Chains A and B, each alone.
Chain A
Amino acid sequence: MKLDADNQRLKDLPTDAHIVRLPKGLVGLPELKELEIVFKEDQLPFMWLREQSEDGFSFAVVEPAALLDSYSFDVKDEDASQIGIETGEDVLVLNVITLRDDEEYPVTVNLAAPIVVNRKTRIGMQIILDDFEKHPTHHPVSQIEEQCVSCAN
């Protein structure tokens, strides 16, 4: 199934990329098991989570703390043990951003299915949260937090 007809590689992104391994890929895209995180300073807090291959997929992602006052969720024990995390400090959270041709809400973030990554091992998984009311898949992003916690990294 060809999903990336218009995909263009971002060839000039910096090489300080970090490899993330998702043993189960992303929901609906289980083949995406190895992705890299890259970013450009002037695009922060947005970053790219992308396949390393020339024609691969890329996703705009963001650490939710950069956008939202409070976003918290529970990670089920079986999920936590699969990626070897024990506390919140072990975890890097990335939420997928959808960019749309929508004047009013061009940027939305998927709060319903965060990607949680073990900071040390860089192994992660996308988990689906229970409460869709609180965590919509397309939450409009309108105002950036003053303190960009992801910018320092």
Chain B
Amino acid sequence: MLVLTRKKDESILIGDDIEIRINKVDGDGVRLGITAPRQVPVYRKEIHDLISKSNRDAAMASGKVEEDLLNAKKALTRAPFQG
């Protein structure tokens, strides 16, 4: 990991197309302004990790035999989830 120190209003360029600017520094928090090409997704890391993990968990489970999917379908017709 490259570690840089920036002050408020300073920026970092990643490649030629991605800019991250320190807009505001407020205690423990930093407000960043991000400029990137439209096709480059920008995620909060913890959210990306959550979805990423969810996808991976789903991939493993889905590798089981189709019997699991039929059981899943049966599970659908059980009593509704409360709450």
Contacts and interface: CB of A to CB of B under 8 A. Distances in A.
Interface string A15-34: 00000000110111100000
Contacts of A26: 55
B61 to A, nearest CB: 4
Interface residues of A, number: 48
B76 A42 contact: no
Given A46-B69, A141-B76, A113 B54 contact: yes
Contacts, number: 132
Interface stretch (A54-62, A84-92, A116-124): A54-62
Main secondary structure on B side of the interface with A: helix
Given A4-B63, A58-B62, A107-B72, A112 B51 contact: yes
Contact of A113 (B51, B63, B69): B51
Contacts of A143: 76-81
B68 A96 contact: no
Interface in B40-80: 41, 43, 47-66, 68-73, 75-80
B37 to A, nearest CB: 10
B5 interface: no
Interface in A54-79: 57-60, 67, 78
Contact of A43 (B51, B63, B70): B70
B70 A42 contact: yes
Contact of A10 (B39, B66, B71): B66
B62 A138 contact: no
Interface string A120-153: 0000001010001000011011111000000000
Interface of B: 38-39, 41, 43, 47-66, 68-73, 75-81
